[in-house]
Amino acid sequence: MNRNAEMVMPRINLLTTAGAVEPYTLRGARSWSPPAKPAFNRVAFSAAHVVADARSAADPWVEAAVDWDATLRYREHLLSLGLGVAEAMDTAQRGMGLDWPTALTLIEKTVAMAKGRPGALVASGVGTDQLAPRPGLTTADVIAAYEEQAEAVEAVGGRIILMASRALAAAARSPEDYEHAYGAILSRVREPVILHWLGPMFDPALAGYWGRDDLDDAMDVCLRIIAAHAGKVDGIKISLLDKEKEIAMRRRLPAGVKMYTGDDFHYPELIEGDDVGYSHALLGIFDAIAPAASAALQRLATQDVAEYRRILAPTVPLSRHVFAAPTRFYKSGVVFLAWLNGWQDHFVMVGGQQSARSALHYCELFRLADAAGLLDDPDRAVAKMRAFLAVQGIDA
């Protein structure tokens, strides 16, 4: 469909915030296009979702069933847009439906696929999710679990994102326990890693990470760890949804250590930066807004800041909606948009998490995606949305 040609745009009945049903006419306008040959002046990773196998007999609350072809096809799409793939992160439902054996298979397949693409960036999540919660869990147990996963990722030629650990949050009794655990792991990895500080709004089990409830105190602990092992730290991704905290930490990082924004509320201004510096990107929302992100980053690289801002501005309301509280349910919005855009033939998620949001939430997501120019084919999106709403008992 030629979105720029004159045409009558499709209409659909959608739920309003008051619970009524009202007609909505799609805008369908996209005044930008992703670059044919992306070249950015920021490192930009998209944390990619997984596509569930809707035809599997596995019970989704018990076992992860993945459609590998569709999952890898979406990663190829992200790479073609110039975005790196942050693999097996929380966007892929890591520890939230996707277990470690399946995550390792995902990592192996993605790393192998990317090796055939010159310049492709893939970094993979290393955590401790193979550890079952139990009384008496120690930091030594956590270190061993981290090392097991790090060795497995390195064995397939992967780069490491050292994910925050629920097990460490449960086992650690002081900041010194975090310093000891991270020091032990960082001293043994082959290449510099990306650290990941995931706030409790994404995962309540990570409250008080780094051994401190106060974020400023926690930041001090994290910065001490980075300073002590700067040669083994490529950068740190922080997902606190607090731009001032990110900027403050960014300005305190050792030379050569990158800040990767994980702030899905303020990413345009954090990536653009200020007179002192800027953030690179490692974002879950880049999965959902990948074409716009690619187009905007290309403009930023050519110093066309006004166009960079214009392209990304309408994606921010969409992102804030997708990541609205309870933020940990954001993955359902990411997958919903992938389904609307034809990257998968169903709206089924690992763990059955498609049910995590309301029909009203998905209706507003549809409007905001249209406003941002992120419905690739409006007619297809409307047909899928009508099918979805029919199951909710709504005549669209």
Q: Which CATH class is domain 33-348?
A: alpha beta
Q: How confident is the model at residue 6 (pLDDT cuts 50, 70, 90)?
A: low
226: CB partners within 8 A, 6+ apart: 195, 233, 236, 253, 254, 257
| pLDDT tens digits along 112-160 | 999 989 999 999 999 999 998 788 999 999 999 999 999 999 999 999 9
Q: Average model confidence (pLDDT) for the chain? A: 95
User: Do 108 and 340 form a contact (C-beta atoms < 8 A)?
Assistant: no
Q: How confident is the model at residue 254 (pLDDT cuts 50, 70, 90)?
A: very high
Asked whether the predicted pLDDT for residue 374 surpasses 80, the reply is yes
What backbone torsions phi and psi does residue 154 show, to the nearest 5 degrees?
A: -65, -35
Bond preceding residue 268 cis, omega within 30 of 0: no
Q: Which two tokens stand for residue 284?
A: 């879950």
Could you tell me how far CA 203 lies from the centroid of its own chain? 13
Could you tell me how far CA 12 lies from the centroid of its own chain? 29
| pLDDT tens digits along 349-359 | 999 999 999 99
Q: Give the span between the Cα atoms of 279 and 273, in whole angstroms.
A: 6
Asked whether the predicted pLDDT for residue 29 surpasses 60, the reply is yes
Give pLDDT, residue 7: 65
69-106: b (≥16 Cβ within 10 Å) or e: ebbbebbbbbbebbbbbbbbbbbbbbbbbbebebbbeb
| pLDDT tens digits along 173-192 | 999 999 999 999 999 999 99
The full set of domain ranges for the chain reads: 33-348
Asked whether the predicted pLDDT for residue 4 surpasses 60, the reply is no
Asked whether the predicted pLDDT for residue 3 surpasses 60, the reply is no
Give pLDDT, residue 264: 96
CA–CA–CA angle 228, 208, 201 (5° rounding): 115
Asked whether the predicted pLDDT for residue 17 surpasses 90, the reply is no
Give pLDDT, residue 319: 98
Mean pLDDT confidence for 98-104: 96
Mean pLDDT confidence for 352-368: 96
| pLDDT tens digits along 270-315 | 999 999 999 999 999 999 999 999 999 999 999 999 999 999 999 9
Q: Give the span between the Cα atoms of 24 and 152, in whole angstroms.
A: 50
This prediction's pTM:
0.95
Give pLDDT, residue 135: 86
User: Do 302 and 38 form a contact (C-beta atoms < 8 A)?
Assistant: no
Give pLDDT, residue 281: 98
Asked whether the predicted pLDDT for residue 1 surpasses 50, the reply is no
| pLDDT tens digits along 195-243 | 999 999 999 999 999 999 999 999 999 999 999 999 999 999 999 999 9
